[in-house]
Amino acid sequence: MSCEGLHRRGHDVTLISGQAIGPEGELLGRAFEGGYKVIVLDSLRREINPFYDWWAGRQLSHLLGKIKPDIMHSHSSKAGILARRSAFKTGGMKIVHTIHGLPFHRYLPAWWNRLYVALERRAAQYTDAIVSVADAMTDQALAEGVGNSEQFTTIYSGMEIEPYLTRTADADRWRQAMNLSDEAVLVTQVSRLAELKGHEYIIQAAGRLDDSRLHFCFVGDGLWRRRIEATIARLGLADRFHLTGLVSPQDIPALMHASDIVVHCSLREGLARALPQAMLAGKPVISFDVDGAKEIVKTNMGILLQPKDVPGLTAAIQTLAGSPPLRQALGQAGRELCRGLFDHNQMVDKLEDLYNRLLLRNY
Q: Which residue has the higher pLDDT, 79 or 33?
A: 79
Specify the pLDDT at position 196.
93
Kindly state whether residues 235 and 307 are assigned to the same domain. yes
Q: How far apart are CA 75 and CA 98, in angstroms?
A: 5
Q: Examine the pLDDT at 7 and tell me if it is beyond 60.
A: yes
Specify the pLDDT at position 105.
87
pLDDT over 90, % of the chain: 82
Kindly state whether residues 33 and 146 are assigned to the same domain. yes
Kindly state whether residues 284 and 153 are assigned to the same domain. no
Q: Which residue has the higher pLDDT, 58 or 21?
A: 58
Mean pLDDT of 6-33: 77
Kindly state whether residues 219 and 240 are assigned to the same domain. yes
> Which pLDDT band, with edges at 50, 70 and 90, does 362 fall under?
low
> Which pLDDT band, with edges at 50, 70 and 90, does 169 fall under?
very high
Q: What is the mean pLDDT of the chain?
A: 92
- CATH number, domain of 276, equals 3.40.50.2000
Specify the pLDDT at position 20.
67
Kindly state whether residues 286 and 248 are assigned to the same domain. yes
Specify the pLDDT at position 100.
93
Q: Which residue has the higher pLDDT, 36 or 121?
A: 121
Q: Examine the pLDDT at 156 and tell me if it is beyond 80.
A: yes
Kindly state whether residues 194 and 211 are assigned to the same domain. yes
Q: How far apart are CA 239 and CA 199, in angstroms?
A: 17
Q: Examine the pLDDT at 71 and tell me if it is beyond 80.
A: yes
Q: Are 260 and 196 in contact (CB under 8 A)?
A: no
DSSP E strands, 142-283 = 152-154, 185-190, 214-219, 241-245, 261-264
Kindly state whether residues 177 and 246 are assigned to the same domain. yes
Q: How far apart are CA 214 and CA 184, in angstroms?
A: 6
Domains of the chain: total: 2
Mean pLDDT of 261-279: 94
Residue among 251, 313, 315 nearest 288 (CA)? 313
Domain limits for position 229: 162-341
Kindly state whether residues 147 and 24 are assigned to the same domain. yes
pTM beyond 0.85: the answer is yes
Mean pLDDT of 141-165: 95
Kindly state whether residues 260 and 327 are assigned to the same domain. yes
Mean pLDDT of 267-290: 94
Q: Which residues contact 188 (CB under 8 A, 6 or more apart)?
A: 216, 217, 218, 219, 255, 256, 258, 259, 261, 262, 263
Q: Examine the pLDDT at 321 and tell me if it is beyond 90.
A: yes
Q: Examine the pLDDT at 62 and tell me if it is beyond 80.
A: yes
Kindly state whether residues 174 and 219 are assigned to the same domain. yes
Specify the pLDDT at position 27.
64
> Which pLDDT band, with edges at 50, 70 and 90, does 363 fall under?
low
Mean pLDDT of 104-133: 93
Kindly state whether residues 9 and 123 are assigned to the same domain. yes
Q: Examine the pLDDT at 24 and tell me if it is beyond 50.
A: no
User: How many Cα atoms are found within 13 Å in the side-chain-facing hemisphere of 278?
Assistant: 31
Specify the pLDDT at position 26.
59
Kindly state whether residues 145 and 281 are assigned to the same domain. no
Interval 174-212: pLDDT, tens: 999 999 999 999 999 999 999 999 999 999 999 999 999
